[in-house]
Amino acid sequence: MLWPFNRFRNPTVPGGTIEAIYGMIVAQAREPVFYTDLGVRDTVNGRFDMLILHLWLVLRRLQPIEGGSVLSQALFDHFCADMDDNLREMGVGDLTVPKRMQAFGEAFYGRSTAYDLALEAGEAELAQALSKNVFNGEALERAKALAGYVRDVSARLAVLDDAAFRTGAWTFPKVETDQLRATP
């Protein structure tokens, strides 16, 4: 299990690896096609949902890798530090930051659990989970398109070499606009 606020431990992770992987996650989550063609809300919450989705995909891929739990924890710690920094930059007060961080943790774990169960259950279940979490329970057709993207990315990440994945020597597949076109 990943523990929030565990960033004060110093796991043995090669320097720059976590930053590189997290940077790829953030860049992929910010791909304009999600917001323009798929209709994900281009808001703080919408971007947060896409960040969690891509973080979940990477953490899921790290699970079976030797040393993957250490990398997963370091990646999650980096995510927590980034969220903390973003809150403070937005002017959230010191007394409010821990409450917001707790909410972020709950959102991450809730969505991760829902996505894990839905991915195993099938296409319809994954679309339902994405509809609920990314589209506020609406836009099932868009959620189906996003579910196809998630399955595709998950499959592509699964075949990557473990050593390359562990060191951050990989990239997310290019987001295909046609793949994400959904009827409103």
- The predicted structure's pLDDT at residue 116: 94
**More confident of the two residues 92 and 81:** 81
What is the tens place of the pLDDT at every residue in 112-166? 999 999 999 999 999 999 999 999 888 899 999 999 999 999 999 999 999 899 8
- Indicate the DSSP class of residue 9: S
Nearest to 166 by CA among 39, 34, 67: 67
Residue 59 has pLDDT above 80, yes or no: yes
User: Which pLDDT tens digit goes with each residue over 172-183?
Assistant: 988 877 666 554
64 token code pair: 């079976």
Average pLDDT of the segment spanning 51-67: 93
How far CA 34 is from CA of 70, 94, 107, in Å, comes to: 30, 33, 20
Cβ–Cβ < 8 Å for 22, 78: yes
Q: Which two tokens mark 81?
A: 């530090």
Residue 103 has pLDDT above 90, yes or no: no
Question: Using CA atoms, how far apart are residues 83 and 7, in angstroms rounded to an integer?
Answer: 12
In this structure, what token pair is assigned to residue 31?
């791909």
- pLDDT given for residue 179 in this prediction: 64
Which pTM value belongs to this model? 0.85
Which stretch, 80-94, 98-112, 125-139, 164-178, has highest mean pLDDT? 125-139
Q: pLDDT grade, residue 2 (50/70/90)? A: low
49-61 average pLDDT score: 95
Q: Given this model, what pLDDT does residue 100 score?
A: 75
Per-residue model confidence (pLDDT) at position 25:
95
Q: Mean pLDDT, to the nearest integer, of 33-62?
A: 93
Query: Other C-beta atoms within 10 Å of 7: how many?
Result: 17
Residue 70 has pLDDT above 70, yes or no: yes
Q: Residue 183's pLDDT is what?
A: 47
